[in-house]
Amino acid sequence: MNELKQVRTALISVFYKENLDKIVHELNKLNIKIYSTGGTLSFIKDCGVNATAVEELTNYPSILGGRVKTLHPKIFGGILARRENENDQFQLQEYQIPEIDLVIVDLYPFEETVAAGASESEIVEKIDIGGISLIRAAAKNFRDVLVIASRKQYNDLLEILESKNGTITIEDRRKFAAEAFNITSNYDVAIFNHFSGDFSKSAFKQSIQGVKSLRYGENPHQKGVFYGSFDDLFEQLHGKEISYNNLLDIDAAINLIVEFEEPTVAILKHNNACGLATRNNLLQAWQDALAGDPISAYGGVIVVNRMIDTETANAMNTLFFEVIIAPGYHSDALSALTSKKNRIILLSKNISLPKYQFRSLLSGVLVQERDSSMETEKNMKPITTKLPTKSEVYDLIFANKIVKHSKSNTIVLAKNNQLIASGVGQTSRVDALKHAIEKAKGFGFDLKGSVMASDAFFPFPDCVEIADKAGITAVIQPGGSIKDQDSIDYCNNHNMAMVSTGIRHFKH
């Protein structure tokens, strides 16, 4: 079998025509016969290049408002015919079907039409039939045909045509065929998900474009890959290749920082905040965030919601950390931060968090809505005789934002918009609280007047009793235990304020 194929004929029918002119002129230069349809045919002729209308080949007009143009044996026969199959060649001659060696076809913009909020009828009309059939046919017969299914491939095609005078290798044909099937399968998944709704689907289907190879997975002996459009969310300004664990921390950091509007700095380690503070200026926020746990901060990930100034950058630069994320950097600040060769510096763009989350387990996949609930003062239901003060309310809201993004079971202690300690990932809520108190005292914090947030209800009054004895004066928790009253009674008897939100924030 001849592994090299000379392109002699091409079929071109595309929705997007940007940069197509270069391809058309090169095909014309190589004396490759072009077949085309509708607007693409007009575009080619406007380029000063001759092309034959598909209708002339099929002797059949475009019908049903353009819904049927290329669905014809003279088109698909020319694409699917096996060049070294005698019976196929005999039938081509019998029915006067020309071989088609190159297919340049893209798809109607279905996802873009849906995203634009178009009507149902407009969306339906953007379900491609002829185009996707042509792409699949050409990809199936990659041993003889080259398929170009996206305008993103025009430069690659042009380079091949120019460098090899229209001769295509089997490696190139197979590579483009694989990409074609990637494009068509992604298209079908988008259509299925649109028509199936959110949680009424009969199957789990996701098609995520873009791939980023990783050095390894969670551990060096595990392979790892990231699928997604990382570069759409961040620009990496400096540092080493991002790792699997870096990505987990970056995801946790972004989900956390979007909860805060005032100047805020968060330091994360293993997906949990170990330091966080909101202040009037970034430098003070950094200093107070670091004070929350300067030991865990070592080797962590820093995320901020303001442009980093030089003074703050110089202060940060005294700590070893893996990653920093910010919406901007002053030039001198960037110079200071890039002094460490491997430090990953990310510029965050306009980040839109996904509506759904999914993870693999057992023999399937779990899917859920992202936890987008964040309670405000309006959602706080006072359940004790004593009401929280205004400053305590602010701290309760602050602590509740952190507890939402910490591993369960978790307790967060805060004071004056500063995380002073947390206990995360514990098998008992009591252990989480004891751990948080021990850490806060270990770093010199006075717990008197601080507040406590819990990701779930208290089944017994032991937590509020321990908190009270440590100096904590206000508590926020979802409520919902059949023994809620026991905790309420303790608070009432010991002059503590407690509010319930009705919203649990488990995170596993």
Q: Cα 413 vs. chain centroid, distance in angstroms?
A: 31
CA separation for the pair 300, 292 (Å, rounded):
13
**Alpha-carbon distance values, 79 to 89, 261, 274 (Å):** 12, 57, 61
Neighbours of 351 (CB within 10 A): 14
CA separation for the pair 504, 457 (Å, rounded):
8
DSSP 281: S
In contact, 405 and 453? CB cutoff 8 Å: no
- Among candidate residues 316, 332, 21, 508, the one with its CA nearest the CA of residue 324: 316
**Of 140, 330, 441, 494, which residue is the catalytic one?**
140
CA separation for the pair 474, 467 (Å, rounded):
9
DSSP 400: H
What pairing do the DSSP bridges indicate for beta strands 356-361 and 344-348? unpaired
Using left for φ > 0, alpha for ψ between -120 and 50, and beta otherwise, residue 266 falls in beta
**Of 270, 386, 441, 494, which residue is the catalytic one?**
270
The pair of structure tokens assigned to 459 is 């089944």
CA separation for the pair 163, 64 (Å, rounded):
41
The pair of structure tokens assigned to 291 is 């004070």
**Three-state DSSP state, 159:** helix
Query: Is 240 among the catalytic positions?
Result: no
CA separation for the pair 120, 137 (Å, rounded):
29
- Environment class of 315 (CB within 10 Å of its CB; exposed 0-12, middle 13-18, buried 19+): middle
CA separation for the pair 211, 354 (Å, rounded):
18
Residues 6 or more apart whose CB falls under 8 angstroms from that of 207 comprise 185, 186, 189, 190
Query: Is 45 among the catalytic positions?
Result: no
- Among candidate residues 126, 120, 123, the one with its CA nearest the CA of residue 107: 126
CA separation for the pair 241, 343 (Å, rounded):
10
Q: Rounded to the nearest 5°, which phi and psi values hold at 491?
A: -60, -45
The pair of structure tokens assigned to 170 is 């089997």
Helix H or strand E segment including 405 = none
Q: Rounded to the nearest 5°, which phi and psi values hold at 187?
A: -65, -45
The pair of structure tokens assigned to 352 is 């839109």
One-letter amino acid at 106 equals D
**Alpha-carbon distance values, 337 to 205, 343, 496 (Å):** 41, 8, 45
Residues annotated as catalytic are: 140, 270
